[in-house]
Amino acid sequence: MSRCQSSGRLNLVELQAFQGLLTQLEFMSSRDSLPSVSAVSPLALAYLGDAVYELYMRSQLLMPLKRIRDYHQQVVDQVKAEQQADYVDVLLPYLSPVEHDILRRGRNASTRRHSRVDSQTYQKATAFEALLGYLYLHDQPRLFELLNQLSQPT
């Protein structure tokens, strides 16, 4: 069981540390320079969201200290398509209409057949990543709010 699933909500220190990491990685200097949501392809948002989510999971699973191989396996278990597709279902009740639209665009953009998972799972995972990419660019506080929903006990 992952640290994220077992301990519930992020504590304030963890959340601030993750926010600090994202701030350091932010590549756009001004929110005014952000393109509109329709100007960025859903696959580009998913590409960015994949990196954001992997960084998030790596930061969450860092403690307690363990071997790198163990870190890697825990991260892989959380960032795989099946887990991300499940997270879409967890987040649906909390999403705004704009966020639902981002999910739809991300899901519809993914037409590639993936050999390891069925296409519906892969599409939902791409939608999840597109949502995270969009929120990273446009509303980081909302990104943290939704990521916290994933660590709620079910």
pLDDT tens across 34-47, in order?
666 667 889 999 99
Residues serving a catalytic function are 50
Q: What is the mean pLDDT of residues 5-9?
A: 47
How much of the chain, in percent, has pLDDT values that exceed 90?
Answer: 40
Q: Per-residue pLDDT for 32 more than 60?
A: no
Residue that has been written with the tokens 């590409």 in this structure: 47
Residue 72 is predicted with a pLDDT of 76
How much of the chain, in percent, has pLDDT values that exceed 70?
Answer: 70
Domain ranges of the chain: 3-25+41-150
Q: Per-residue pLDDT for 114 more than 80?
A: no
The residues, ordered by sequence, that sit 6+ positions from 143 with a Cβ below 8 Å of its Cβ are 52, 132, 135, 136
Question: What dotted CATH number matches 3-25+41-150?
Answer: 1.10.1520.10
